[in-house]
Structures are given as structure tokens and as C-alpha cells.
Amino acid sequence: MLHELLFSSSKKMEDCLAKKMEITVSEAEKRTGRNAVNMQETYTAYLIETRAIESQSEGQCAPVDSLWRRYSEFELLRNYLSVTYPHIVVPPLPEKRADFVWHKLSADNMDPDFVERRRIGLENFLLRVASHPVLCQDKIFYSFLTQEGGWKEMVNETGFQLKADSRLKALNATFRVKNPDKRFTELKHYSDELQSVISHLLRVRARVADRLYGVYKVHGNYGRVFSEWSAIEKEMGDGLQSAGHHMDVYAASIDDILEEEEHYADQLKEYLFYAEALRAVCRKHELMQYDLEMAAQDLTSKKQQCEELATGTVRTFSLKGMTSKLFGQENPEQREAKIKVLEEQIQEGEEQLKSKNLEGRDFVKSAWADIERFKEQKNHDLKEALISYAVMQISMCKKGIQVWTNAKECFSKM
């Protein structure tokens, strides 16, 4: 099955779902319900709207379909995609809980600003999946967008959970694999370092935002004191009063500035989480490689056993060999039976090894293709993010110049 999936990545971008269907997460709503243990809980539901993009026909628009999904369903979808397409760098979800907050931002999941940013993040996720050449063709994904009821059952029926590799197994493989592909080892290091540097950046950025907020807000105090001072002045009064007003404008301007910057932080966060997805692909490779190595090792040992039984020589130490030496060897019939069993196993093993090898090479090939696609996307997106950040800074500087120029004019009239 993996084999089939790997070769479907040759489809062109034009066939992507994103080109055929408009997808938006347009609303968020607070709901109350009963959870799995029948306790009351509040959660947020998101409205997914879809509409077929048809060729223009007298301005007629296709009808909009919509359904509500909650965050846990998005999680389920992503888990399914990760397990089903382990060679793909699967787009990440926006964070579950508010992290890297600076003091004014709430860390509360129910906070309207957080919900709004999450809504945008979820829409972004769906668009990423819908524009991925492989992922967009998945039926479960399509149903997620279009089928209201019974979707959860449908996902669970695929039995994907059984295919999921256990964390322990993966960790074991990481430590014990002998010859992973060098490119994946390098990629693993890269994704670790990327995670580390982006986390650091986000943490400091939050502190920078905090301090900048403080600087702007204190200027608001000038507004009040200039106003009070102007009351006792004759000629200076008007100039002071109006300058004070500009100080208030300056102090208030930081709120919008920092809110816009949150969008930049979200773009960075997406790639922080993408680093984890990248890591997951590397882990899968290590697992497959380890599996392969174990199968090869097993095959080698069986071949050896077979040889020993056939020639009667013991080359390696084995308990069986020792016991047979001590208690006498088996009779020829027993030996023949054993050899036959081993020969069958060896043949099976060789076939398995062959297919594992093939699988491994195909995995590496298509994973690497998706990684290249991902790298290009990452470079493009992050460049855009940096440009928009620079544009934000330019806008902030221009606003600053404007306000202080206005204030200066008021002072000149004092």
C-alpha cells in the first residue's frame, strides 16, 4: 500500500484540490457539550466552508457547503495523514495552547484573539494540505471537508492507529541503526537546530514586544501632565495641550503595531512545528533502515545455522550447539527436517529482505522529493515573512516620525 502511495506523487500541481475548491475556516463558536467521561466541557468549534471553483458562467457561483469541526478532529486528521504518508512532511497544526506569549496576550485558550489566530492557522493548515500534490488526493481528507456525520468512525475504520509506530520502537531504532542515509542524518541535525533557534527567537521576540509596549505606554503620561501644565500657562498653553494629544496617539499606536507582529510570530511558529514534521520523516527512515538491518542480520544468522547443520561444523557459539555436543547430536532425519524448515525461512527472509530493500529505496526517493519541495516552500515562505516583518518595522518608524513631527510643530507654537 505504501508502494502505491509513493508513486502517486507524480501528479501535477494543477490537479491539486486547492485549485478546484475554495476552502475557508470562516467562523469560530464556543460550544458546551459532554465529553468522553460524560463531564460537561466548553470547547470551540470551527466552521469549514467549501465551494467548487468552476469556470466563470455568467457570474454564477457554486453553492457553499459547510460543516463544523473542533480542534481534536483536526488533530485526528493530522495523525491519520502522518501515519498514512510517513514519507511526506505533513503540514503542522497551529499550537494547541498559547505559547511564547508576551504579557498583554492572554494564555487562555478561550481568549478571542487566540481563537481568531487559531482559526487562521487551521485554515492555513487545510490550504497547505489541499495544495500538496499527494495529500490533497486523500479521501479521508476530502471527507473531513465535506462529510458532516460519521467522519470519525470512517477514520478509525482505516485502522491507521495500528500502523502507527510506537515511540519506543522509534527511539530504539534511532539509537541502534548502523547505516542510515547520510542525508537523513544531516536533515535530522538541521531540524533539531532549526527547532532550537526558532524557539529562542520566539522567546526573545516576546520579551522585546513586552519592553516596547512599556516604552510606548509611558509616553501616555506626558499627555496628562502637559494638559495639566497648560492650564497654568498663557502663551505656552495651546502648544502644550495639543502636543500632549499627540503623545496619547503615540502611546495608543503600539497596540495595533504589536498585534500585526503576532502574525509574523505565527508564521515562524508554523516552521517551528514543521521542523518536527521533518524530524518525523527522518525517524521513519531510521525505523525502516533499522528494520532492514535487523532482517538482514536475522537472514545471515539463519543461513549460518543452516550451513552448520548441513556441514556439521560449529562456527559460532550457540547453546544448541553446546547441548548437542554434550548430549549427542540429533539423528539424520531430525537434521534434515530442521534444514528444510530453515531453508524455507531463508527463502521467505530473502524475499522479505528484497521487498524491504525496495521499500526502503522508494521511501528515500519519494521522501527526498517531498523534502526538496518542502525546502523550496520554506525558503519562499520565510523570505516572505522576513519581508513582511521589515515592512511592519518601516511602517512603525514612519508612524513614529509622523507623531513626533506633529508634536514638534505644537512645541514650536509654544
Q: Least distance from C-beta 241 to another protein, angstroms?
A: 13
Residue (86 or 244) nearer to another protein, CB: 244
d(CA 212, CA 201): 16
Q: Least distance from C-beta 158 to another protein, angstroms?
A: 37
C-alpha dist (Å) from residue 178 to 117, 151, 173, 185, 288: 44, 41, 9, 11, 12
- All cell numbers assigned to 131: 495544495
Residue (172 or 406) nearer to another protein, CB: 406
Residue (1 or 231) nearer to another protein, CB: 231
Residue (52 or 390) nearer to another protein, CB: 390
- All cell numbers assigned to 59: 457570474
Angle between helices 139-146 and 112-130 (to 10 degrees): 140
β-sheet bridge partners, residue 32: 42
Q: Least distance from C-beta 9 to another protein, angstroms?
A: 23
Residue (118 or 205) nearer to another protein, CB: 205
Q: Least distance from C-beta 361 to another protein, angstroms?
A: 26
Q: Least distance from C-beta 205 to another protein, angstroms?
A: 7
Residue (338 or 373) nearer to another protein, CB: 373
Count CB-CB contacts under 10 A for residue 308. Answer: 17
Residue (80 or 226) nearer to another protein, CB: 226
Q: Least distance from C-beta 379 to another protein, angstroms?
A: 5
β-sheet bridge partners, residue 268: none
Residue (24 or 267) nearer to another protein, CB: 267
C-alpha dist (Å) from residue 399 to 175, 213, 215, 257, 394: 55, 15, 15, 10, 9
Q: Least distance from C-beta 185 to another protein, angstroms?
A: 15
**Sheet containing 21-34, strands listed edge to edge, beginning at the edge strand earlier in sequence:** 21-34, 40-52, 65-70
Q: Least distance from C-beta 197 to another protein, angstroms?
A: 5
Q: Number of H helices and number of E strands within the chain?
A: 12, 3
Note whether 217 and 254 are within 8 A (CB).
yes
Count CB-CB contacts under 10 A for residue 213. Answer: 18
Binding site residues, another protein, CB under 8 A: 190, 193-194, 197-198, 200-201, 204-205, 207-208, 210-212, 214-215, 218-219, 221-222, 225, 228-229, 232, 235-236, 239, 243, 379, 382-383, 386-387, 389-391, 393-394, 397-398, 400-401, 404-405, 407-408, 411-412, 414
Residue 85 sits at φ, ψ, to 5 deg, of -125, 70
Residue (164 or 414) nearer to another protein, CB: 414
Count CB-CB contacts under 10 A for residue 253. Answer: 17
d(CA 206, CA 212): 10
Q: Least distance from C-beta 127 to another protein, angstroms?
A: 23
Residue (336 or 376) nearer to another protein, CB: 376
C-alpha dist (Å) from residue 370 to 4, 9, 109, 182, 281: 16, 9, 33, 17, 10
Q: Least distance from C-beta 77 to another protein, angstroms?
A: 30
Element (H, E) at 162: helix 160-163
Q: Where are the alpha helices (DSSP H) in 181-318?
A: 182-230, 237-311
Q: Least distance from C-beta 246 to another protein, angstroms?
A: 9
Note whether 198 and 191 are within 8 A (CB).
no
